[in-house]
Amino acid sequence: MSFRSVFIAFLFVTGACLAQSAPKPSFEVASVKQAEPMDAQKLIAAAQAGGRMPVGPHVTPGRAEYRFMSLTALIAYAYKINAAQISGPEWLPSVQWDIVAKMPEGASAEDAPAMLQTLLEERFKLSVHRQSKDQPVLALVLGKGPLKLQETEAAKPFDADAPFKPGEVEVDEADGPTRMYTDKKTGETVADRGANGMFRITADQASMTEHIDASGMTMAGFADILSQFARLGNSGGRGVVDMTGLKGSYNLKFDINLSELVTALRARAAAESGGEGAGAVPAASDPGGVSIFDTVAALGLKLEPRKAPVEQLVVDHVEKTPIEN
């Protein structure tokens, strides 16, 4: 056997041994408890006071907290995937949990999702696998007309050390924190998502329209916003997938028709309840309203019903009750 062959074999064996012995990233210690029922008044008071909201994930040097989060939300955060892409038992979102953990020395916020994965595996006996499956989607593609998008520089990372404005609240997400502030005089809400862009939201109650002025937004981010409305609206639950091929960051303004969303939610609630009055709820939105199809068309884009591979996180096993602290 040549020296080269011996050396390659040595690297292979050594690498395999290291891979087997390398421990999974984990918290030093963690407390897992079922959350107390949410006090709505305290939550409203916290939002009015501003600062960190007492719900959701929050990771700081040395400490990770996940407050009032269901297993669905915890899994979505840990595996950095949209909750709508998780397939598992129907009871997953039914119970809320509080998790408080100590981070290892030198660990950063970027390490926390992987540590949360380990915790869920150890304490809830979670096992999952990823799969890609063709599903009906709405493809966001280029339209035939000119694009009405203003290309801009990529948004800057979020400044987590910036002081809070009065009434400004912060919520952590898997891709970073978001700070939101609502101007009581104008009703405008500003959401700063750092590297994921910023957008201003103004609601017009008379026309049931929500106007969004976004800056530093990618087409993937735009598709994600559209998905939230598409899945709840009259699109048959289809999500929106970016297929524009546009890789830049853009400033864009668009309107979302809230009447379409409200009508669809009422129809769905009536259908699920099967109670009286179900037939009185209109099944379609106001014809005069602006649909998400109109919204993207006004920007020179288009939504096309297609089938596309969508990543799914399938829960193979999970326990309802975690191992005790």
4-23 residue pLDDT tens: 444 444 445 445 444 455 67
In tens, the pLDDT along 47-92 reads: 677 777 778 898 888 999 999 999 999 999 999 988 888 999 999 9
Residues 146 and 91 in one domain: no
Residues 119 and 193 in one domain: no
Domain membership of residue 11 (yes or no) is no
In tens, the pLDDT along 124-158 reads: 999 999 999 898 999 999 998 899 999 999 888 87
- Quick one: which of 81, 61, 60, 77 has its CA closest to 69? 77
CB of 313 closer than 8 Å to CB of 319: no
Residues 150 and 45 in one domain: no
Weakest mean pLDDT among 19-28, 162-171, 227-236, 280-289: 280-289
Residues 53 and 160 in one domain: no
| Mean pLDDT to the nearest integer, 94-108 | 94
Alpha-carbon distances of 77 from 112, 131, 200, 216, 309, rounded to whole Å: 10, 18, 25, 23, 22
Strand (E) or helix (H) holding 84 = none
Weakest mean pLDDT among 36-40, 63-67, 211-215, 270-274: 270-274
Domain membership of residue 14 (yes or no) is no
Across the chain, mean pLDDT equals: 81
pLDDT at 6: 42
Domain with 246 in it: 134-311
| Mean pLDDT to the nearest integer, 34-43 | 84
How many C-beta atoms surround the C-beta of residue 74 within 10 A?
22
Domain membership of residue 167 (yes or no) is yes
Strand (E) or helix (H) holding 108 = none
pLDDT grade, residue 183 (50/70/90)?
confident
Residues 143 and 71 in one domain: no
Residues 290 and 246 in one domain: yes
pLDDT grade, residue 203 (50/70/90)?
confident
Query: In terms of pLDDT, which residue wins out, 231 or 79?
Result: 79
Residues 51 and 110 in one domain: yes
Is this model's pTM higher than 0.75 or not?
no
Domain membership of residue 10 (yes or no) is no
Residues 116 and 251 in one domain: no
Residues 110 and 148 in one domain: no
- Quick one: which of 239, 308, 233 has its CA closest to 82? 239
Domain count, the chain: 2
Residues 147 and 284 in one domain: yes
Residues 307 and 249 in one domain: yes
pLDDT at 43: 74
Domain membership of residue 3 (yes or no) is no
Residues 40 and 98 in one domain: yes
